[in-house]
Structure 1
Amino acid sequence: MQITSKLKGWMQVAAVAIGVSLVAACGGGGGDNGGNSSNGGINSLPAGPTQQPIAAGAANTVAITVDKGLKNVINIATVSVKVCAPGSTANCQVIDHVQLDTASFGLRILSSVLNPSLTAVGGLPITTVNGSQQLAECTHFADGFTWGTVRTADVIIGQKQASNLPIQIIGDMPNAVPATCTGVPENTVDDLRVNGILGVGVMLNDCGNTCATAQASSNYYACTGNSCARTTVLNPQQVTNPVPQFIGDNNGVIVQLPPVPNTGAASAQGTLVFGINTQSNNSLGAAQAFLSDGAGDLTSSTFNGATAVALFDTGSNGYFFNDTTLQACGSNQPGFYCPPTAQTRPFTVKGAGSATANINMNVVSAATLVAGGSNFAFNDVAGEGIKTGWVDLGLPFFFGRYVFFGMATNGQPPFIAF
């Protein structure tokens, strides 16, 4: 898979579908309510992991929230991010409901939620190329794209700061979308359903050498007015993962979410920890590590007897994989599975080394789970895969686990551990 197609909150299509379903359910929407004696088999599911997150109070931590969010969408993990004009401590804004995404790289904020002082002259400066042309990016998602300028900001997450960081401001050039930036635009809160996306996967930049050397496949555009053409962009000018830019605690992150019942929870509070083996609160400990490819995927995994790629993605609101034996939900929750009884699907993950681990992916009817309309954190919702041969371990995988993302810094190869 090309790096450019990795830039997605992988199942935004599915997130939209479930969000619409929840709104309908609040008005008395139908679906199996799991009222039989076995609760649709939910009680028979194997027990999940039970790790509890540490308190988000240390300098290298920030709180993660999973709740109904801005648009009643299930399993959307969000954090708050502070954005400042470079060098300023006054021209700053805290942006809440920024989606935490471990399968993308870099910060993207909607222009519509920013204070005018940040988007105006003297705020976040637009990156220029070829002399005076504005740099913009078309970032491809599963169901569409985000479009906007690349700007420089001081970014503060918790108490950690990345200075002069290239970020994307989404939707600030609505009349300049090039014809080659195709799909459904996701440049508003109604479309994106969050205020921004924080990509903290294992890569340092969002496109790397692909965009630095190959103009035809670059995400980036040089713009004069409303006229934009693809351009190559060196890595330091690309939208950049903020974590490696921190002073200390910059070699990775740990996502910690609490366990939730198989019937779901109204919300869940977790912690994002910066650094691995740099402080007493971020030790790798007994976690099993798997060497990944450059994008953080485990390409030698096995699902249903065939080789599969494992994607560890907090930006997905379910497990996503292809399995024709699971009943699809249909029009009420398109793209999701609705088996008549709860199911479990085993998945063996394997990295570049010899280490393997077996994972149980529990699957309960999406219609059953969302019927009540009051729960937004689920560990057992799943849907149809978006790419053959891939298994997307979305947010359900993270509940009750510490999941480590070791970044490709200081000669350290990228890895996943849990």
Structure 2
Amino acid sequence: MHTRFCTFVNKKIKVKLLLLLFIVPFVNIPAKNNLSNQLSQEATISLLTCAPGEELYSVFGHTAIRVSDPENEIDLVFNYGTFDFNTPFFYLKFGHGNLDYLLSVSPFKRFMREYFMTNRSVWEQELSLSESQKESLFRDLIVNAQPQNRAYQYDFFYDNCATRVADIVLEQYSSDRVNFSTENIPVSLTFREAIHPYLEKQPWTKFGIDLILGAPADAQTDSASIMFLPDYLMGQFSGIRIDDTENLVAATNILLDLSDYSEYKAADWWSPTTTLWVLFILIALWSFTEQKGKGKLKVFDFILFSAVSLLGIVIFYLSWISNHQVTSPNWNLLWANPFWILLVTNVKYIYRKLFCFLQGVALVIFLVVMAAGIQYFPYESLPVILLLIVRGFFSCHLQLK
């Protein structure tokens, strides 16, 4: 998902976990340019699919609709993945999940220029629509782009730039006429599993996203819902047949092939798995020496319990207060909760003792939930949980004696 604005956002917004799920670019809507004219017989309407980028906001790619009519000098891109940065209380609404996302319109050349500048390939699928269907779709896009209609409540899995495009195109046909191919999607793929390949080169981001996504992310996708990702939307459209007689896509072309310039590799040596396991082993060994009076880990305990408590606050807010549908319920709250801070604060003995008991019960419940497959368990968090058990035991057992 593209734009110069997003570069600014990436520098200014440091909450990368939320950025990955919900940030999209802003494109100014130009003045009306022949939007009231009827399309000529030369007009084409196509799906544009843009390759994932290296930056966090672009990692899932992007989808838009192009309307091209040389006779009427129309060549526009309709983009459902935009927002207005000048929205009052922008950051508050962004975090809470009620920021309005917008359909915007931009010239095709400007759209392509930005993807060229960011080294991202663009594919075009020309749709085999009848003239009346092209007119209907173009009219719907114009109506949706009006100021009073262009805003909608964004949802990463169920209502985004890709699903909006899929819906408005497929609305040109009755549902019984559209036949999906099952060859273009993996069997039994969950929403979480669908996004994992895009995050392999950003392991820390992947780890964070898995922590804040709740059980809804582990629901199974189907032929329609998998189209929340641009790549899968392109794949599904290529296999759709209308009335089992006509392909939805008449032709596919690559407009911008920059695959040779878009490869990059993330550092492997400090991945979450390696870093956290090394940390656990070192701290666990140090903990036993501390018991013998050879070391002190009070500073580490403060950092560990404070960080996990802060993570618990974030997860709790996203799960039970915000409007984000994909973050609740989140069973990671059983181990990553705000109450760990009690172990490094001057609270009464009885409260510390009660927390130690309840947290032990919560960890047992968490293990049962994970074993039952109710929610995906990011294995990178295992050394963190073990750290909490070790340091929690020493904090509770030694300090409560």
**Fold conserved (TM > 0.5)?**
no
1 or 2 for the larger relative contact order (CA 8 Å, sep ≥6)?
Answer: 1
If the length of structure 2 is used for normalisation, what is the TM-score?
Answer: 0.25
If the length of structure 1 is used for normalisation, what is the TM-score?
Answer: 0.24
Bigger share in strand: 1
Bigger radius of gyration: 2
Bigger share in helix: 2
